[in-house]
Amino acid sequence: MRLEPHAFWQHLDAPGTHATAPGTVYQKAYPATLPDGRQLLLPIRDLPGGAGAVASLIVNQASFIVEDALADAMAAQWQDTAPDVVVGVPTLGLPMANALARRLGHGRMVPLGTSRKFWYEDALSEPISSITSPGRGKTIYLDPRMVPLLSGRKVLLVDDVVSTGTSLAAVLRLLAKAGIMPAGIAVAMEQGTQWHQTLPLAERLRGAIKSPLLTASGEGYVVSS
């Protein structure tokens, strides 16, 4: 069977195109709203084990128009903070970190990695997992040669999505091993609110768009949190 590509994450709709009022029942998509009011339809995915559903964003499958809109919104949120260096979280946080660093006038960004190079150190590593990849835990690394670029500087940590907060908490533990505490955390999307309770420095996090957790109903999906 041939699967046709879907059209999600490829275009933005005008403000008010899709209903978002409390009590709205959503079918296959949830419309997230950018700060300027434009809307981005996100596909709704059922979580494993009947734990509800989420509206997903896969930024490396998005059009450049969508990626640019998200990066522009993120840059506006952090322009006044004037971070010295941007750190990107793999995998999908890396393109957003690249785009954000450029908009903030930086000549580079610092990527974390999940592929170990022979000169990496266990002391600068941390196990990491994701809600969208259950049972697929990885190890995240900070290249020792990057530490001098971060030490004593105002660091902005960048990822694509925050959901439970567990993966970003692991990244914060990794950076703490190098004596680094980010001044802020920038994400393209805040997914639900669970991360408020589990993520250190949650008060320093800002997202370009937000999506709720959803629960299946007889007619579709409704907002649960």
- CA distances 80 to 49, 74, 75, 76, Å, are 43, 12, 9, 8
Query: Is the entire prediction scored with pTM above 0.85?
Result: yes
Q: Which of 54-63, 123-132, 198-207 has the lowest mean pLDDT?
A: 123-132
CA distance 54 to 72: 24
pLDDT value for 32: 98
Q: Give the Cα separation of 74 and 217 in Å (integer).
A: 33
Q: At what angle do helices 64-78 and 93-103 cross, to 10 degrees?
A: 60
Residue 189 near residue 195, CB atoms below 8 Å: no
**Largest Cα–Cα distance in the chain?**
55
Region 13-23 average pLDDT? 95
Specify burial of residue 185 (Cβ count, 10 A radius: 0-12, 13-18, 19+): buried
153-187 pLDDT tens trace: 999 999 999 999 999 999 999 999 999 999 999 99
Domains of the chain: 29-223 (3.40.50.2020)
Q: Is the pLDDT of residue 129 over 90?
A: no
